[in-house]
Amino acid sequence: MKTIDLRSDTVTLPSDEMREAMSRAELGDDVFGEDPTVNRLEQIAAERMGMEAALLVVSGTMGNLVSILTHCGRGAEVILGDRCHTFLYEAGGISAVGGIHPRTVPNQPDGTLRLADIKAAIRPDNTHFPRTRLVCLENTHNRCDGAALTAEYTAHVVELARRHHLGVHLDGARIFNAAVALGVDVRELTRGVDSLSFCLSKGLAAPVGSVVCGSRDFIAEARRTRKVLGGGMRQAGIIAAAGLVALDKMIDRLREDHDNAAGLAQGIARIEGLSIDPPHVQTDIVYFNVAPQRMSAEDLAQRLAARGVRVLSTGPGRLRAVTHYGITAEDIDHAISVLTEVMNT
């Protein structure tokens, strides 16, 4: 029985071209700055994002942690959304490792933070309070149905942050999905931010790795932070080689993932006992609900898995499915058939 794994776009397997590039990668010691493949990846990534420099890290969690630690000292405060990945899913690393205080404000359904909420969260200069140093955004926003933040919105946040002498970090784990969905160059979505991280190992289908981008001075400091966290790698060109293929070959095909996600959402909406809110899927992430009188989300996920379709239970009545490289339109049709069968039994 074939398994259609829709739990996350992190389950992608590298393409044949990636495997070939990894086997032939020119290598050196990256801690000494001598791995030519890593150096090439970092240069290309920085150029793609409109930044001066970049740094390869092992994961998106490390990318965000390295960035926030570089921006903030112990006892500082960062403003971020109450549904953002850094706050919910990164093991409290900014506090546990960095002694940095999270100040959450509500994420709106479209993934944004209200400008008024950001402004109200900025601490006054008072010895009783931590010092506000940074605002963090997430694009696309995972828990807000994969919503893409527009360039105009990001520009407003950057302008507000500048007025109050704050930095802006962008968790751009799926930033290329946002660019494809909005039909803009990715640099439009990163303009003005002080740092950003993006994943090679989600929609871009590389086996491992994320990249932090920023100014030359910021990346020099981030490299030291990465070393503190144990993230200095040696012959990391094996990882970077797959990342180079990802940046060259995997961005344009994200539209296919978005189309498949839209088709999945439309199919789910037709199944009695399931619902989607909002009904419009913008990128590759589909959140849907199961009626509590029918079954729990965990029960539905288990029943689907027994029939070869894997989705992620994210709450008592809520589930997530993510389309990605390796999932075809035929797979989506089959997944909808299995969902229908399970809900009708």
pLDDT of residue 33: 95
pLDDT of residue 345: 87
Fold of 253-343: Aspartate Aminotransferase, domain 1 (3.90.1150)
- CB of 26 closer than 8 Å to CB of 330: no
pLDDT of residue 278: 77
List Cβ neighbours of 165 (8 Å cut-off, separation of 6 or more).
none
What gap in Å lies between CA 301 and CA 320, rounded to an integer?
Answer: 10
What gap in Å lies between CA 198 and CA 201, rounded to an integer?
Answer: 9
Task: Provide the Cα torsion 158, 97, 76, 89; round to 10°.
Answer: 50
| Strands 195-199, 167-171: pairing kind | parallel
Q: How far is CA 235 from CA 27, 129, 166, 239, 327, in A?
A: 6, 44, 36, 9, 32
Q: How far is CA 21 from CA 43, 331, 333, in A?
A: 18, 28, 33
pTM above 0.85, yes or no: yes
Fold of 11-249: Aspartate Aminotransferase; domain 2 (3.40.640)
pLDDT of residue 37: 98
pLDDT of residue 279: 76
Residues in the chain: 345
Q: How far is CA 5 from CA 8, 282, 301, 307, 312, in A?
A: 8, 20, 11, 11, 10
pLDDT of residue 4: 98
- Asked whether the domain spanning 253-343 has the same topology as the one spanning 11-249, the reply is no
Residue ranges of domains in the chain: 11-249, 253-343
The tens place of each residue's pLDDT in the chain, 345 residues long, gives: 789 999 999 999 999 999 999 999 999 999 999 999 999 999 999 999 999 999 999 999 999 999 999 999 999 999 999 999 999 999 999 999 999 999 999 999 999 999 999 999 999 999 999 999 999 999 999 999 999 999 999 999 999 999 999 999 999 999 999 999 999 999 999 999 999 999 999 999 999 999 999 999 999 999 999 999 999 999 999 999 999 999 999 999 999 999 999 999 999 999 999 999 877 899 999 999 999 999 999 999 999 999 999 999 999 999 999 999 999 999 999 999 999 999 998
pLDDT of residue 35: 98
Q: Which amino acid is at 205?
A: A
